[in-house]
Structure formats: C-alpha cells, structure tokens
Amino acid sequence: MSKKKITGTSKLNVEKLKKPAGSTLNLIKRTKDKILPKSFRLRESDVNNLRLIHTEINKICPAQISETKILRALISIGTTTTKERIINAIRKLM
C-alpha cells in the first residue's frame, strides 16, 4: 500500500505563524473556590440548648424552622453584637 503525501499547511503551523514569538499567553482567570460545608463539635449541653431554642421558636412560629436556620440567625446576631459581649459569653462557657 502506498503512502499518500500530505500537502498544504497544518492547522497547528498556521496558528504559530499568526502569533509572534513574544506575544502574551491567553490565561484563564482563576474562579473563586466553592465554600464547602464545615463540621463543628458541639457539647451535649450545646446541642440541648439548640434543641430547646428550636422547640421554643417552633411553638411561636406557624411554619417549621430548622435548626440550621436557627444557627444561621444566631451567627447573624453575633455579627451585630459587640465583641466584649461575645468574649464575656465565651468566658461564661469555660
């Protein structure tokens, strides 16, 4: 079987000819990393307090609210609270 000769220019060679040797590279911008779930170790008393808050809130609210939403709300409240108050609460827990 005879080999067929390839004539013409290749696509790779044409692209090299279009760009000068010192041209900049087309870099892809880095995307933000996804926030992954985190796990926290809670003491038994902390879990009991969270469940108590959960049951009290669900008695008042007509729609069921999850413990996760309650934790998010408590974190949101913590961002507006003074730092001294948070440190005092931490000292009480120790």
Asked, for residue 86, whether it belongs to a domain, the answer is yes
pLDDT of residue 70: 92
79 pLDDT more than 60: yes
The more confident residue out of 19 and 50 is 50
The more confident residue out of 77 and 11 is 77
CB 53 within 8 A of CB 70: yes
Asked, for residue 92, whether it belongs to a domain, the answer is yes
The count of structural domains within the chain is: 1
SS3 content of the chain, % helix, strand, coil (to 5): 55, 0, 45
pLDDT of residue 33: 72
Asked, for residue 12, whether it belongs to a domain, the answer is no
Asked, for residue 5, whether it belongs to a domain, the answer is no
Asked, for residue 32, whether it belongs to a domain, the answer is no
Q: pTM for the complete prediction?
A: 0.54
Could you read off the pLDDT of 21-77 as tens digits, one per residue?
Answer: 555 666 677 677 777 778 888 899 999 999 999 999 999 988 999 999 999 999 999
Q: What domain range includes position 61?
A: 40-94
